[in-house]
Amino acid sequence: MAYSCDFPYNDFGHWLKSRFPFKVQKLTINGSFTCPNRDGSIGRGGCAFCNNKTFTPAYCQPTDSITQQLQEGKRFFSRKYPDMKYIAYFQAYTNTYAKLDTLKRRYEEALQVDDVVGIAIGTRPDCVDGPLLDYLESLARHTMVMVEYGIESANDETLRRINRGHDFACSQRAINETARRGIITGGHVIIGLPGEDRKESIRQASLISATRLDILKIHQLQVTKDTQLGETYIQEPFPLYTVDEYIGLLAEYIGHLRPTLVLERFTSQSPKDLLIAPHWGLKNHEFTNLFVNYLRKHGMYQGMYCHDNDCIGGDKVANHATSLKCGTCAF
């Protein structure tokens, strides 16, 4: 397939440009939420890999209002891009984990800030229900609404091991219920979780592709301080991918993803003072350059292994996901 952009995959930046006539930047904000596997509702300690400090900007202080956080973020970016518009990104912890009235107040406060043209909501698939999605569907008629689910893995044993508190069927159902309402639906997966080798990751690519996701973030596993996974790694180190190993695996992985799936990210970059391993020493854009060069050198591209109904989402997959039984989600 020949992509219309400069990349051999369906790039998120070009997708944004197709939707807006101006430059758009996500602004991360902290909505003062927690998670059900932290507060005891379904577990304690949170996900084994998670340290929110590794991806929360300094201006995101939960003691500040949502408006204050957005204004601070805007000041940072407007110095370089004075005409920038913004998507308010509720990222820290589980951003649908509150009563609906509370969620409405926080989302709508963000949308009232000047130059905010939409919201992105990071959450768990077991923390959405019909009334919330109905509200988001109505909101999406007037502004951009993106819901991003932490899927992490399509392997239930892995999900149990990392203390997610839900199974993959729960992710499938939440994705389906969100997408069928016309809400932009995103997902996040981690490659290299303990117990998952290259073969298992490739197996999961087709499962992820067959959902009704619009957008996918893919990250390498990073082991960080103050996490259960970090403690385990220090006591008994487990294999982590080198840059070259990850690039080779990632190239094959996206080959099993349908061409219509928008790919937002391929890597994450934790602060050096919090990172235990692996130490790649690459900024995100530097990694992307290496990855694109690898794809071009080897003639590889997104969807190259997809044929006929392989990798394709849609009603058949949606109906299957609806029929799956799940003991943890709200549907």
| Neighbour count for residue 292 (Cβ, 10 Å) | 16
Q: Which two three-digit tokens encode residue 62?
A: 């939960």
Q: Which two three-digit tokens encode residue 126?
A: 């077991």
- What is the signed CA dihedral for 252, 255, 261, 262, rounded to 10 degrees? 60
| DSSP assignment string, 12-35 | HHHHHHHH-SS-EEEEEE------
pLDDT at 317: 40
Closest CA to 220 of 267, 255, 184: 267
User: With contact defined as beta carbons under 8 Å apart, do 307 and 162 qualify?
Assistant: no
Q: Which two three-digit tokens encode residue 142?
A: 């007037």
- Biggest CA pair distance of the chain: 52
Measured CA to CA in angstroms, residue 213 lies from 172, 191, 192, 273, 311 at distances of 9, 18, 21, 34, 12
Q: Measured between alpha carbons, how far is 120 from 30 in angstroms, rounded to an integer?
A: 12
Rg (CA), the chain: 19
The pairing of beta strand 184-191 with beta strand 215-220: parallel
pLDDT at 318: 40
* DSSP reduced 3-state for 285: helix
- Residue tagged 């999900």 (tokens): 159
pLDDT at 52: 79
Residue 22 backbone zone (phi > 0: left; psi -120 to 50: alpha; other: beta)? beta
- The pLDDT profile of the chain, 331 residues, written as one tens digit per residue, is 555 557 999 999 999 999 999 999 999 999 999 999 999 999 898 998 998 777 666 666 767 899 999 999 999 888 888 889 999 999 999 999 999 999 999 999 999 999 999 999 999 999 999 999 999 999 999 999 999 999 999 999 999 999 999 999 999 999 999 999 999 999 999 999 999 999 999 999 999 999 999 999 999 999 999 999 999 999 999 999 999 999 999 999 999 999 999 999 999 999 999 999 999 999 999 999 999 999 999 999 999 999 755 566 544 344 434 334 444 566 6
- Residue tagged 């969807």 (tokens): 303
The pairing of beta strand 116-123 with beta strand 144-152: parallel
Measured CA to CA in angstroms, residue 95 lies from 43, 107, 149, 151, 245 at distances of 17, 10, 10, 15, 34
Q: Give the global pTM.
A: 0.91
Closest CA to 193 of 228, 235, 244: 228
User: With contact defined as beta carbons under 8 Å apart, do 317 and 210 qualify?
Assistant: yes
Q: Which two three-digit tokens encode residue 233?
A: 């790694």
pLDDT at 81: 85
